[in-house]
């Protein structure tokens, strides 16, 4: 089941809860739920979206907001993995580009995050790709991400199809929650209302997030 704005949110599909008790949308009826989807090897996630989520948790958890974090992986599978998520939870250890960028900007203390992520954290369920890439997968990817594709010359269309096929074949794994919500990258923000309906699914910077949370809390 693919997620659709305004419809019942499909359940998160995760492999491991590394902090907090296992929980899902169907157990949080009556609460607004914010899911922050990030990668361990994603500097922007740690510079902007995770601190934003921590602040929202601090301000509104007592008013009916539940914040969950889901670490996913659609690239750099050697870094975006369960082992490094556990290290993050246990002692604030970060890796890869996250380590380099945050260290360069003076955001770390002795190489570790100076704050603790206070809400439940889980690892997206990663499935090893077994089958060849299908034409339907390529067509869906083009429809969602390549505007005006049908109006382009045929040689260009063939080139794009080949590039997408090569991209899919380069992926060792596919992540269930990431794909279930048709996310475009990390950070991504999933907002579900008190009735379990998907209200927002936003990639990247989301300065309006607090206002959206407040609006849903008042409903």
DSSP class per residue in 20-35: S----GGG-TTSEEEE
Instruction: Tell me the mean pLDDT in the region 179-194.
Output: 96
Residue 68 lies in a domain: yes
Same-domain check for residues 112 and 196: yes
100 pLDDT above the threshold of 70: yes
138 pLDDT above the threshold of 90: no
Residue 42 lies in a domain: yes
Please provide residue 142's backbone torsions phi and psi, each rounded to the nearest 5 degrees: -65, -45
What per-residue confidence (pLDDT) applies to 130?
62
Residue 9 lies in a domain: no
Same-domain check for residues 57 and 79: yes
Residues 13/177, Cβ–Cβ less than 8 Å: yes
Domain that holds residue 148: 130-170
Instruction: Tell me the mean pLDDT in the region 130-140.
Output: 79
25 pLDDT above the threshold of 90: yes
User: Which neighbouring-strand residues pair with 34?
Assistant: 67, 191
What per-residue confidence (pLDDT) applies to 173?
72
What per-residue confidence (pLDDT) applies to 167?
72
Name the pTM for this structure. 0.81
Same-domain check for residues 166 and 192: no
Q: How far apart are CA 120 and CA 56, in angstroms?
A: 14
Same-domain check for residues 80 and 163: no
Q: How confident is the model at residue 191 (pLDDT cuts 50, 70, 90)?
A: very high
Residue 57 CA to chain centroid, in angstroms? 17
Residue 6 lies in a domain: no
Same-domain check for residues 212 and 110: yes
Same-domain check for residues 160 and 74: no
Same-domain check for residues 134 and 49: no
Looking only at the bridges linking them, the beta strands covering 188-192 and 126-128 are unpaired
Q: How far apart are CA 117 and CA 69, in angstroms?
A: 9
Same-domain check for residues 180 and 166: no
- Which string of b and e fits 10-32 if b means at least 16 CB within 10 Å? bebbbeeebbeeeebbeebeebb
68 pLDDT above the threshold of 70: yes
Same-domain check for residues 75 and 153: no
Q: How far apart are CA 151 and CA 56, in angstroms?
A: 44
Q: How far apart are CA 115 and CA 102, in angstroms?
A: 13
- Supply the CATH number for residue 75's domain: 3.40.30.10
Per-chain mean pLDDT for the chain: 92
Same-domain check for residues 113 and 209: yes
Residue 117 lies in a domain: yes
Number of independent structural domains in the chain: 2
């Amino acid at each position: 089941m693919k997620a659709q704005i305004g419809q019942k949110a499909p359940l998160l599909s995760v492999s491991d809860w590394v902090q907090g008790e296992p929980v899902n949308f169907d157990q949080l009826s009556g609460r607004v739920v914010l899911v922050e989807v990030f990668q361990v090897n994603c500097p922007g996630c740690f510079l902007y979206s995770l601190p934003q989520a921590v602040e929202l948790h601090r301000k509104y958890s007592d008013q009916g907001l539940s914040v969950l974090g889901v670490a996913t992986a659609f690239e750099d599978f050697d870094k975006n993995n369960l082992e490094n998520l556990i290290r993050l939870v246990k002692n604030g250890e970060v890796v890869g580009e996250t380590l380099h960028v945050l260290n360069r900007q003076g955001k770390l203390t002795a190489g570790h995050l100076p704050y603790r992520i206070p809400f439940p954290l889980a690892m997206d369920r990663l499935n090893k790709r077994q089958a060849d890439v299908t034409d339907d997968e390529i067509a869906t990817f083009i429809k969602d991400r390549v505007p005006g594709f049908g109006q382009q010359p045929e040689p260009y269309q063939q080139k794009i199809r080949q590039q997408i096929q090569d991209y899919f074949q380069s992926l060792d794994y596919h992540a269930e929650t990431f794909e279930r919500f048709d996310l475009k990258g990390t950070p991504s923000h999933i907002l579900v209302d008190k009735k379990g309906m998907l209200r927002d699914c936003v990639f990247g910077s989301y300065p309006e997030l607090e206002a959206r949370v407040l609006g849903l809390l008042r409903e």
